[in-house]
Amino acid sequence: MDGATQLKIDTWLNGNYDQETKDEIRRLQKENPTELTESFYRNLEFGTGGLRGIMGVGTNRMNKYTVGMATQGYANYLKQSFSTQPKVAIAYDSRNNSRFFAETAAKVFAANGIKVYLFQSLRPTPELSFTIRYLGCQGGLVLTASHNPKEYNGYKAYWNDGGQLVPPHDKNVIKEVEKIASVDEVKWAGAENNITVIGKEVDEAYMSMVRSLSVYPEIIEKQRNLRIVYTPIHGTGIKLVPEVLQRFGFTNVHVVDEQATPDGNFPTVVYPNPEESEAMSIGLKKAKELDADILLGTDPDADRVGIGIKDNNGDWVLMNGNQTAVLAFNYMIEARKAKGIAQDNDMVVKTIVTTDMIDEIARQSGIKCYNVLTGFKWIAELIKEKEANENYVIGGEESYGLMIGSKLRDKDAVSAVALLCEMAAYEKNQGKTLYNKLIQLYIKYGFYKESLISITKKGMNGQKEIADMMESYRKNPPTNINGSSVIQLLDYELQSGKNLQTGETWEIKLPVSNVLQFILADGSKISARPSGTEPKIKFYFSVNTKLDNANDFEAVKKELDNRINGIITDLKLK
């Protein structure tokens, strides 16, 4: 063990830390020194989105002390930034210790003279974003690790627009957090009268907002018996989703009982993530038993949604995030036009790794589509930049996130579930399914197929291995992938694009981000993006071709799958 790590351990053993923490450190010294090193070899980084890590003792773990120190730094920045008493809203999900961490943060904020609105019990992350705007707060906080395994927890910080921190506030908060060198600098308690507990009133306002997003309530009235199966996967969605569906007018909603109770141990799944087929498997079984029309699942903090629908053979299939986004974007554009409520200045927003099929739908529909960096904070920032002149309709990203309407500024699975059910009702009213609709869209706009590989590099060397991989791609970009020439290299860290055939270069006018994209002559696109919160790197693949008719769907799908597999093999990613 290096000296710096040992010094941190000694500081915790001899400093103002509770006895239970010290006892756990001594136990690890005897029983698991490797784990002890992992827990202390670095400080858990307060990144641009906040904290996320494994729970436990140590500077590299989520615990009372790392949460308290982060909150003290954030509190200091809020007080520097606003001349009047700042207000913050705090929510938390169903994870183990989420409530304890939320109360810890609330007490630290309060002791620093900041007004705190703390939810009385667990709530979805999107409601926190809404609450910041609704109550006129200057900041906010949600305790969640989203879809990570049960060992994790996290701390997401928000600004006064209801979006997560963006420049300059993200970097400035990080600086203030890094200044807190000791737990003795944290104001742990006092002035608890600054804390107000909130609940039903905000729930009502939020659910009314979601209800207002409905485009075709009269269609729902005709199809109110749509058979819906919903699973909250042991998370916060149970608090609001069934109620919202009822308010939309749906009367035949079936909650997956085995996953209905909030539980931070997530007993029925390995990963509480609707992107994982395993997490949706119990819901799929129930959907088959009931011959349902649609299956929906939300992650623990209810900001991501996964859906299952029947294909043309009556077999259940899970949609990926790009397919769900295509259906949702198209519906909001198409339905608003048909209903006569579209505006000339409507706009939609997606991220650079989300399917380009959305760009094509927007282009042919005569509506602006903006591309931003990965993360809904960038969608929120673009809305802020454009809202004086343009009307935001919907935004989304491939990782199962949608944000409909501008009354909140983060991805929202509660409203997404409701609108996806409305979409299913709309198609059923015409004797069709969402699967039929997706194929129709492929015929009209081109068949786009996407895939994703996530490679994890654990331990102290993980981040370096990922950095080396990205550096290699930058210095020696491939010139040919799967038999197709690489015609463009887009480097979002250097903010530059280059035509590899002509040598032409141009500026990418987006904030700096460690992302590389390779555009091939056959229209394929490969994106490489290290995670900002975990030691992993993601590779996104997008291919497309023409689909002439529905009868060719399976054959063309196989052709595109083969092209993706060829790219993955050529890049030696499997």
Query: What residues act catalytically?
Result: 146
Give residues with Cβ within 8 angstroms of 153, minimum separation 6: 52, 53, 55, 62, 95, 96, 97, 98, 101, 143, 144, 145
- By the 8 A CB rule, do 409 and 129 touch? yes
Distance CA 60, CA 56 (A): 9
Distance CA 102, CA 197 (A): 12
Determine phi and psi for 528, rounding to 5 degrees: -120, 125
- By the 8 A CB rule, do 553 and 539 touch? no
Cis amide linkage into residue 86, ω under 30° from 0: no
Closest CA to 155 of 49, 231, 59, 252: 49
Encoded amino acid at 496, one letter: S
Determine phi and psi for 480, rounding to 5 degrees: -150, 130
Closest CA to 67 of 166, 188, 163, 179: 188
Q: Strands, DSSP E only, in 261-400?
A: 294-298, 305-310, 316-318, 346-351, 368-372, 391-397
Closest CA to 493 of 465, 516, 477: 516
Angle at 145 between CA 141 and CA 150, to 5 degrees: 140
Give residues with Cβ within 8 angstroms of 443, minimum separation 6: 547, 548, 549, 550
- By the 8 A CB rule, do 92 and 117 touch? no
Helices 3-14/19-31 angle, 10° precision: 140
